[in-house]
Every structure is written in structure tokens, then in C-alpha cells.
Structure 1
């Protein structure tokens, strides 16, 4: 029996705060799926293989990313597996002569179909030989988490959660606003939890409100598909500042004709707690909303098993769209931004730089003059004799944030 298993891991992101040093855990863990491929010759194999009549048509699955990567024969196997899983078939007879191929196609089905929450991703595939001169075939046995009434009950809970989520979207919203809404919704409503049950499927995130990267990414895919937005579930690895590597899952979306990466798991802020008695707000990291390869490849490495759409466009960079992006070092402009932020009593001021050089210039200027000058202006403007502030440096993202306290 041959097993394929992903390793588990964590990504640690370190943020240096002005009043101390906090260690934050972000990213996700893709718990391994176990699949076995057992080539086996059976003398008792039936003369007539009990294939189920195929009812799923090519039109029903055409356009699904992983389905489109397959040969015609593999697409037949894909449809047979999908039909069997939908019916919770214990044994699915496949027009396939290789157990490893069956396992790979099985994974393709799950990657395309986030709504399949009742199958845990494990399956055993066995090759059989018929009489001499006849073709081999494969029987795949998926491992089901839920069946019957329990499956139906959980499906209803998912449908209810879906309706609640999508009720907040206006029909007039454009594609970017819809993607941003789903990204923010998942971050606001789901907690990252390694111990969450069912954390490899959408039930954990949408109903249980606790999950890991697989739950975030599949829920993002599921909800965007409900909105008619093309979304791919992808896997790969991430690296931490110390060179550690962990398996991870995220998404590729198509928006206004361009492809972008979306990683709601890494967009989810980790609770910072208090710093010297002051509550530091949790900020959603929009660095992973509709971002480009240039941005994501600093920390993510996508699987090379497939050729994925290229994500080159930076047109939807959140910080560019919201006036927080700087591609040149101009201290005067930075000071104006700080002053306007303080005048509006904003809790924080965000600076996102285009590259490492601009980032370092900005960080140096912040420490030398700008933060102290900003604090002085805050005290003068609001009549405070003592002013407190904090800051975070996120070098991997070229991002600097100042937190202002007005009391």
C-alpha cells in the first residue's frame, strides 16, 4: 500500500513593535490527505465490471480548472468519481487501469469541488485484472465523514451560513468588491485553530467558524463560485523568516479579466494584545487580497504539478487603491500623511512601500524624525502632555504601521 501524505508545519511571522517585540503566528497548515494505491490482481474479479451508468455530463464540469488539465480518459474517471462521491458510494468502479492515476484524479475532484465536505480526502484505490486479455480496472473507496441524515443536516447548515454571508453583497458590487467582501468576511468570522474539527473542509469555516488554511481556501472558493467568480484552490509551501517550510493552501481568482492570488488565511490578523497598557488594533492584512506573483512569491511557493494562470497584474493592490502605497521616498509627503491621520483621529497610519530600498529609507526616517514629530503634533493638537504610540515593521511585506493613542 502506497501512501501520499503532506507534512504539517507552521509559519512564524515576526513583527517588531516600538514598545516591545511580539511573535505572531500566521499562515496555515494543510493537514495531509492519505491516499493509497494498491495494484492487485484478483482471480475472482467479475467477468462484467459493475460500472455505474454515467449521468454527469461533460458540460456540467467543463471549465473546472483541474478537470481541464486531464486527458479525455482521465476526465471520464473524474466524472465517475464525482458521481460516486455525490452518492456516498463505498466502491466506485473506474474505467482506469492505474491506481495512482485514480488517486490523482480523486484529488482533482476535491480541489475543484469545495462543496464536498463529507469526504475527508482519504481513499484507497485497488487495481484489478479480469480474465486474460481483458483490461484492468480500478475500484476506489473514498473515506466518508458523514452520510444520510447527518450529511443532509450539515449541508443545510452550510446553506444557511452561505445565505447569511452572501446577504451582505449588493447586486451592484463589481467583481473586486465581491472578492474583497468574501476575503474580509472570512477573516472577520473565522478563527485560525489547528484543533478545529473538520478543518480540511468548508463546514469548519462556514459553520464552525474555526479552521486552518484548507478550510479558509475552500470556503473562499465555494463562496466566490456561488457569486459566479472563477476561483481555483491551490496548494504549495510557505517559508518563514528562519527558512522553515510549511505546506499551505490558498486561491487564484479571476477579476475583470486578470488573475490574482488571494490568501485569506494570511490576511487574518493574529491578536496582538496589549502593549504597555494600550490595546493595539487587529488589522486585516490586505497584502494577500488580489495580489501579484511579485508580492506573494516573497513567502509562498506554488505547486509545480500544474501550470496555473499567471498572476502578474498589480492593478488591484489594496494599498495603491487606497492611497497607502509609496514607490518613492519623500519625507514631506510622509509627514503630511501622518498629520492628516492624526487630525482625523485615526487609530493607525499604514505605509506600504514598493520595494526594499524605499522601505528601508522610510523606516529610517520614521525612527529619526517622523514618529516623534507626529507624536508632538498629536499632543499639541489635542492638549496632551504625554503621548504614546507604537509601531510595527513588516519587512517581508515592505509595510510600516504606526498606532496612535489619543488618551
Structure 2
């Protein structure tokens, strides 16, 4: 009778366990049945028959090896790693060690899912080269003796390691090609411009993938959201553009990160772009929005969002509040400032000088400090038709004002 009671209790407990697992619950259980025991099979777990014979003394957690990773990668005060608590930074290194050694299922003892998520997300934010790992993952928590065990399985680019390795090689080849071209440019401005232009000229915005994101949210793993999608498959959404730009900047030794936020409009949409540090000053750069498609379907390249300050960005973007983004106060390398196309006040003679320099393009594009100054220029040049006092501008013209209200373009 006594043995029957133990058997009944065990069957009931296991039935409850199966029910919870089928319902998708994350569980932490520690069953103990008095007088009913048996040796634990080697390598067994609630998650299958995977064996971890050397996890407790794993060489990947060796302090010397973990320290060596800091020599391989460059981190800045703005890096996601440096925004973590100490225990999260230590886990960051352990996660990094496993990724570097092709371990894509993670098992950690006495680590909570919250701690893992903070460290894991920071790794992916700092390392766009790990495109095969998604921020979406499944996990289980259970007890093994006196210890709590967390097992994590991220969504992957592919379940085949060989496929991941080949894709990584393809991305590395593409990055080296862009870096080689950028390093031939005459100065820092033109290096950044080369990367900006290359990404835009070789990438098509993937509208279909964006629609899938709206339908499925972050749970979906899309190539177009990665540096690989942008630089190898040449199709991307905003996060793919941003990851690609960050990766190439990092390889050039230029501090760069990604920013999450929203489009400033009545129908606010989530968006991602970059910040970059040039000569110790920070700027924003949005390659996605500098890659528009005209109403006639022709893809174009602009510089409206090339190296902006906080004041510039505020006209069109909002930044998510939970981010520690650097203050972007740089102006020197803004496209319009650098090329003498920026004006604090409206002066017709100065505009005419710029028009003469741009005459071969049959267009005139200038940026003003605030929308009110642009309005004054528009009133004089367009409404009062003073633009036609420039001898070579005759006949029909078209003009447009940027979404920020600060850039005026006149085509003739």
C-alpha cells in the first residue's frame, strides 16, 4: 500500500508537469518523494538528452580567456556592454565566449532570465556581426540539485552550422570590400559618406519584410533586419540598414551604435537609425530615410539625414526613453554644413553663389537653420519668382521642402 501511494503521487506529479509543459509555461520544480529514489541518469534533463560533461569547469568561463575577448573587440562608453551592471557584464562575456565558439544553446547556473536578457540583448546590440542570432528566444528554468539552471535557445538564421559559417564568410567578404573602398577616401567626412552611399546604392528597402514585422512583431527572424540582409542579399528594413552601417563603422575603427525610436508623425512607426562619433563629437545618421523611392518608382539617394544634431533630428524622429544615447551636438560634418550649403539667415546673393556652383546639376539644394528662415527664402525665390533673376534658370521649375522644413530643393 505504501509503494502504491508513492507511485500514485509520482504519476500525479508527472501528469501536472506534462500539463504545464504543454501549456508553454516556464517552470521551476523540485520534486522529492520519500522512500522513492533511483540514481539520476548521466546527462539527462527536462529538455532532452543533451549532455554537458564539462560545464562546471568549462574552459570558456576561464578568466584569462574571457579577458582575452576584451582585446579582440573595442568598446566605448556608449557601448551596450558598459551600460550593464557588473553581474550582467560578467554574463555578457560568458555569452560572447560561447558565440565565438559556435555554441548557440546556452546553459547557465544561478542566472535569472532577466539578467540573461539584459546581457544577451547588449551582446547583439554591440555585435551586428552575429546576425544569425535573434533577440527572440525560448528558455526553461529548472533545478539541478541545489542549483537553479537556465537553458536558452535563441531563434537562429539557420539550424545548420555550416550554413551559418558560409553566411558569416559572405558577410565578412562584403564588409572588407566596403572598408577597402572607404579607406581610400581623402578624409573622415568622405569615409563616412562612402559607406552611407554604398549601402544606399546597393540596397533595396524590403517592403514585404516590413509588413511581416508589423504582423508578427519581434518574434520573427528576418534576414532583412540584419547586416547580412543589407550587405549580402541587398534587401533590408531600417534595422538592417542600421546594423550594416554600424558594422562597417566598427571595422573602420569609428565609434557607432544603433538608436531605437519612432517616426514623428500622426501614425507613429517604430524605427532604427545610428549615432556615430567623429572627432569626439556625436552625430545621428539615418541611411534608411536617405534611401527614398520617388513616386515614379525610381530609387534615389539624399543627404537629409546625414550626420544630424539633436536639434536637427527632433523635427522628424523621437528616441525611445529607455535608451542611454549620447548627446549629438556635432555640426561640422553635416552634409550641408561641410559643403557650404547651410545658412542661418536668408541672403539672396549667397544663394546665387551656391546656385552657380550647382548649375551643372540643374538644381539647387540648400539647408536653413530653422523652418522660418526657409519660409522667407521660399517667399522670395518662389512666390516672388526671384529665382528667375538668375539668368540660366528659365522656364518651368519644381521645388520641394524636406520633412524637417529646413531643406529647400529647386529643380529647373
Q: How far apart are residue 164 of structure 1 and its match?
A: 2.4
| Aligned pair partner of 1:304 in 313, 318, 321 | 321
CA distance in 2, matches of 1:353, 1:37: 56
Structure 1 or 2: more strand by fraction? 1
Provide the residue aligned with 2:263 in structure 1. 238
Structure showing greater relative contact order (alpha-carbon pairs closer than 8 Å, 6 or more residues apart): 1
> Is 2:259 aligned against 1:254?
no
CA distance in 1, matches of 2:246, 2:409: 30
CA distance in 2, matches of 1:80, 1:161: 28
| Aligned pair partner of 2:55 in 46, 50, 62 | 50
Name stretches of at least 5 consecutive residues in structure 2 with no aligned partner: 1-23, 32-44, 210-221
Q: How far apart are residue 354 of structure 1 and its match?
A: 0.3
Provide the residue aligned with 2:360 in structure 1. 345
Structure 1 or 2: more helix by fraction? 2
Provide the residue aligned with 1:142 in structure 2. 154
List per-residue Cα deviations over 1:90-121 (Å, max 9, x = no partner).
Answer: 53122553212212221111111000121233
Distance 1:317 1:208, change over 3 A: same
Q: After alignment, is 362-371 or 321-330 more displaced?
A: 362-371
Question: What secondary structure does 1:160 align onto?
Answer: helix
Distance 1:164 1:375, change over 3 A: same
TM-score relative to the length of structure 2? 0.77
Q: How far apart are residue 182 of structure 1 and its match?
A: 0.9
Q: After alignment, is 88-97 or 66-75 more displaced?
A: 88-97
CA distance in 1, matches of 2:85, 2:352: 59
| Aligned pair partner of 2:88 in 74, 79, 84 | 74
Provide the residue aligned with 1:228 in structure 2. 253
Q: How far apart are residue 49 of structure 1 and its match?
A: 9.3
Q: How far apart are residue 355 of structure 1 and its match?
A: 0.6
List per-residue Cα deviations over 1:113-164 (Å, max 9, x = no partner).
Answer: 0001212332123333344xx4534222111122322112212221221232
Provide the residue aligned with 2:10 in structure 1. none
Structure 1 stretches of 4+ with a deviation exceeding 4 A read 42-49
> Is 2:335 aligned against 1:318?
yes
Name stretches of at least 5 consecutive residues in structure 1 with no aligned partner: 1-35, 275-280, 380-386
Question: What secondary structure does 2:182 align onto?
Answer: coil
Alignment: residue pair count: 350
List per-residue Cα deviations over 1:299-341 (Å, max 9, x = no partner).
Answer: 2222222322111122222111112111112234334443x15
Equivalent residue runs for 1:119-134 within 5 Å: 119-131=133-145, 134=146
CA distance in 2, matches of 1:78, 1:323: 45
Provide the residue aligned with 1:17 in structure 2. none
Provide the residue aligned with 1:389 in structure 2. 397
| Aligned pair partner of 2:204 in 169, 191, 196 | 191
CA distance in 2, matches of 1:232, 1:355: 27
Q: After alignment, is 308-317 or 134-143 more displaced?
A: 134-143
CA distance in 2, matches of 1:258, 1:268: 25
> Is 2:110 aligned against 1:99?
no
Larger radius of gyration: 2
Q: How far apart are residue 80 of structure 1 and its match?
A: 2.1
CA distance in 1, matches of 2:53, 2:176: 46
CA distance in 2, matches of 1:203, 1:295: 30
CA distance in 1, matches of 2:393, 2:185: 40
- Indicate conservation of the 8 Å contact 1:341/1:348, yes or no: no
Provide the residue aligned with 1:202 in structure 2. 227
| Aligned pair partner of 1:38 in 26, 31, 53 | 26
